[in-house]
Structure 1
Amino acid sequence: MKQKVLCIVAGILLVAIGSLAYFFLYGTKSYSPEATVVYEQGGTRVSVFYNRPYKKGRQIFGSLVPFGKVWRTGANEPTQLETNVPLKFQDQALPAGRYSVWTIPGEQSWTVILNSEIPRWGINFTGEATRNPQTDVVKVEVPVMHHEKEVVEQFTILLEKSGEEMQLTFLWDQTLVAVPFTAQ
């Protein structure tokens, strides 16, 4: 009898844990849908895969996304950048490959980090980023631009040509951060 009760309890726990894991991995994606943005020109192909959370009336930077703390730059999994050619961010080289994108937002500038590890979720159970700083490949600081007339409701990443350079742009709320880079 005891063994039967233990089997039933174990089965219920297994289903509950499985349901919770499924919700964390797939259920939240309806609130922050996946998107991919691609830049292709000549033999250069750069793509960014990310999840797009909504503002929904919330204060974003300095509150939901705290200043001075590592952010996975989107929702759900960390944002990922993939390139088929080496790139250069400021004076730092990024070999061809796939990288996780992390940021440290600030009021006046952001630190943008490309890391060679891509963790499954991007944060732990306490909400802290799971980035390993020892595997950072590129780490650059760029200025923040504020546009007071327009509010961007859904987090957006753009890849665009800007003169001789390309630009990785983050837009959300009234904040715009542009990261220039070149193909090598």
Structure 2
Amino acid sequence: MKTVTLLFGLLCLTLTATTAQPFRGLDKSPMDMAYYPDDYAHDRKFAPAKIGGDKAMVRVTYTRPAKNDRDVFGKLVPYGKVWRMGANEAPEIKFYQNVTIGGKKIPAGNYALLAIPNEKEWTIIFSSDLDQWGAYSYNEALDVARVNVPVQKADNVIENFSIQFVKKDPKNATMNIGWDTTIVAVPISMQ
């Protein structure tokens, strides 16, 4: 009986050891999320009067690479080529309601957020091709809209790629995208 119990215990230990999987290391570029209205998820639950309603306009989920003393635009991120805006998977932007960006109407829904950076102007791309790693499988035929926005110079170096929203009025916001010494401002209006 002791032998059977011992063998059963060893079998259980072996099965446990072979099925336990260690966690892989952390991503070098952490994921972040930006809402408009700012802190929508928190305020919807705890301070609904602060957001002035029950519905968000937009949310972006993206990964934040660091500058790490590198020359970013024109070197790390080449000019004139489609870029995923961040690291890892292409960012996903979710419009909770129909919006207009640069005169282009975009229906509520989820889109990949890409860009073609240049020195003086970026082309912001909203693509229906979700869940793509980087922009390696980018297909222009799946573009929902493209908008050109001018490049602005940041007052200070932005160490980590960042996206933030700024309220203009109840129906308009600006999506600021910044990294290194570059900022682009994308105007968004509710339809």
TM-score by length of 1: 0.78
- 2-side partners of 1:183 and 1:104: how far apart? 25
Tell me by how many angstroms 1:165 deviates.
2.1
The 8 Å contact of residues 78 and 121 in structure 1, kept in 2 or not, is answered as: yes
- 1-side partners of 2:183 and 2:127: how far apart? 22
- 2-side partners of 1:114 and 1:34: how far apart? 20
From the CA coordinates, give the structure whose radius of gyration is larger. 2
What is the total number of aligned residue pairs between the two structures? 153
Which of 123, 131, 142 is the aligned partner of 1:135? 142
3-state SS of 1:177 partner: strand
Give the aligned residue type for 1:57: D
Residue 156 (structure 1) aligned with residue 162 (structure 2): yes
RMSD of aligned alpha carbons = 1.7
- 1-side partners of 2:139 and 2:81: how far apart? 14
Which of 32, 36, 57 is the aligned partner of 1:35? 32
Gaps of 5+ in 2: 1-22, 38-50
| Residues 34-183 of structure 1: pairs in structure 2 closer than 5 A | 34-40=31-37, 41=51, 42=53, 43-123=55-135, 129-147=136-154, 149-163=155-169, 165-183=172-190
- 2-side partners of 1:181 and 1:57: how far apart? 32
- 1-side partners of 2:112 and 2:165: how far apart? 16
Tell me by how many angstroms 1:68 deviates.
0.3
The 8 Å contact of residues 146 and 174 in structure 1, kept in 2 or not, is answered as: yes
Q: Deviations over 1:63-113 (max 9, x none)?
A: 000000000000000011001100101111110000000000000000000
The 8 Å contact of residues 80 and 118 in structure 2, kept in 1 or not, is answered as: yes
Report the equivalent of 1:4.
Answer: none
Tell me by how many angstroms 1:169 deviates.
1.1
TM-score by length of 2: 0.75
The 8 Å contact of residues 95 and 110 in structure 2, kept in 1 or not, is answered as: yes
Gaps of 5+ in 1: 1-22, 124-128
- 2-side partners of 1:50 and 1:116: how far apart? 16
The 8 Å contact of residues 57 and 190 in structure 2, kept in 1 or not, is answered as: no
- 2-side partners of 1:39 and 1:157: how far apart? 11
Q: Deviations over 1:93-150 (max 9, x none)?
A: 1100000000000000000000111133124xxxxx3211111011010000012x41
3-state SS of 1:30 partner: coil
